[in-house]
Amino acid sequence: MDTNVILHDHKAIRHFQDNNLVIPIAVVEELDKFKKGNDSLAFNARGFMRDIDRITEGKSFGKDGLPIGPRLGLIKVEPNHPFSGEYADMFKDDIQDHRILSTAMWVRDHNPGTFVALVTKDVNLRLK
């Protein structure tokens, strides 16, 4: 899930029914930059981080993640994973969108048979 989805609606993680969600650490880093202030972006960044804090309650995400809530899927924060092969030359990891994309591709590649979608409101990221 991309940062802009959370900044639009901090409760977005509750709208995916029983689907599992992966939040790239790059998204958490971006949210940290938005949490100060009184505008809606700051409100949503803080609200999301409070939600994650309630979900974890001092527990580790572990390999599979933690339950978001009743009849909802699991959520986990995934560390950055570099691009491999031909993509390493095309996408530099010093760009946040590239780090988010590489994490989505890593999750896809390491979970064969599982449908993986990158949820974003960013047209440019979807095109990549």
What's the pLDDT tens digit per position in 38-48? 999 999 999 99
Q: How many domains does the chain have?
A: 1
Positive or negative CA dihedral for 109, 99, 29, 19?
negative
- Residue 125 within any structural domain of the chain: no
Q: Does residue 78 lie in a domain region?
A: yes
116 within some domain: yes
pLDDT at 32: 96
Q: What is the pLDDT of residue 91?
A: 82
Residue 92 pLDDT class (50, 70, 90 cuts): confident
* Residue 13 belongs to a domain: yes
Residue 113 lies in a domain: yes
Structural domain boundaries, residue 10: 3-120
pLDDT in tens, 97-114: 999 999 999 999 999 999
Closest CA to 119 of 38, 11, 17, 21: 21
Whether residue 31 is contained in a domain is answered as yes
Predicted TM-score (pTM) of this structure: 0.89
